[in-house]
């Protein structure tokens, strides 16, 4: 029997000795960051970003009794004008992102591929973050997003533990490394079940 999101959070909290996490407020949440430094790493420098179009974080760790169970990881492109662009349109259909997710000192996802186009469709531009059916020719603002759906119960980022995402971009045909610029900066979006600090309710 598969664990629910709540079961996974409580299981990990129990293993880590976080006995009060079960008393916090359950919610849906997302965090995002853009690699404006073109460093190949996301979230680690979020504290230096002030513009909400770049990040919604002040640091890459949650407060006491706050956490995020990641269920979806998405990538996009942000230009210097603040526009969100489609990854495939910018880097081409032969491009691929390989990324690692690091929580604390543990690499919990390694060399995970996100293809610009083609199969496997889980990683391709077959849907968007909003998960709505929309005619993009009528509303091009809703470009497809490139994402990984985490099967099962996802991966938990616990309270007060730093995390970051390392990424590399390649051309899968030539093997050449594709280097972002300030006008084609890579952004990342982590979406899932959120735990918020609240002493009066339980998840």
- Give the tokens for residue 157: 């980022």
CA distance 105 to 97: 22
The rounded mean pLDDT for the chain is 75
The 10s digit of each residue's pLDDT in 135-172 is 333 333 334 445 666 666 678 888 889 999 999 999 99
- Give the tokens for residue 26: 């359950």
Locus of tokens 């900066």? 185
The 10s digit of each residue's pLDDT in 91-128 is 988 899 999 999 998 999 999 888 877 444 443 344 44
- pLDDT given for residue 135 in this prediction: 39
CA distance 168 to 198: 38
């Amino acid at each position: 029997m598969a664990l629910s999101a709540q079961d996974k959070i409580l299981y990990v909290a129990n293993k880590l000795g976080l006995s009060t996490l079960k008393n916090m407020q359950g919610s849906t949440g997302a965090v995002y960051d853009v690699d404006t430094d073109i460093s190949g790493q996301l979230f680690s420098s979020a504290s230096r970003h002030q513009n909400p179009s770049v990040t919604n974080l002040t640091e890459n760790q949650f407060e006491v009794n706050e956490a995020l169970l990641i269920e979806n990881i998405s990538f996009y492109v942000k230009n210097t004008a603040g526009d969100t662009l489609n990854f495939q349109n910018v880097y081409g259909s032969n491009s691929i992102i390989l990324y690692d997710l690091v929580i604390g000192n543990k690499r919990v996802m390694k060399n995970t591929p996100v293809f610009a186009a083609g199969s496997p469709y889980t990683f391709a531009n077959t849907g968007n973050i909003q998960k709505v059916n929309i005619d993009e020719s009528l509303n091009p603002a809703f470009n497809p997003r490139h994402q990984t759906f985490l099967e099962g119960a996802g991966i938990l980022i616990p309270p007060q533990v730093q995390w970051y995402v390392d990424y590399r971009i390649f051309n899968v045909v030539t093997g050449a490394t594709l280097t972002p610029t300030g006008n084609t900066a890579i952004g990342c979006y982590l979406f899932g079940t959120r735990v918020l600090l609240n002493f009066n309710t339980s998840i």
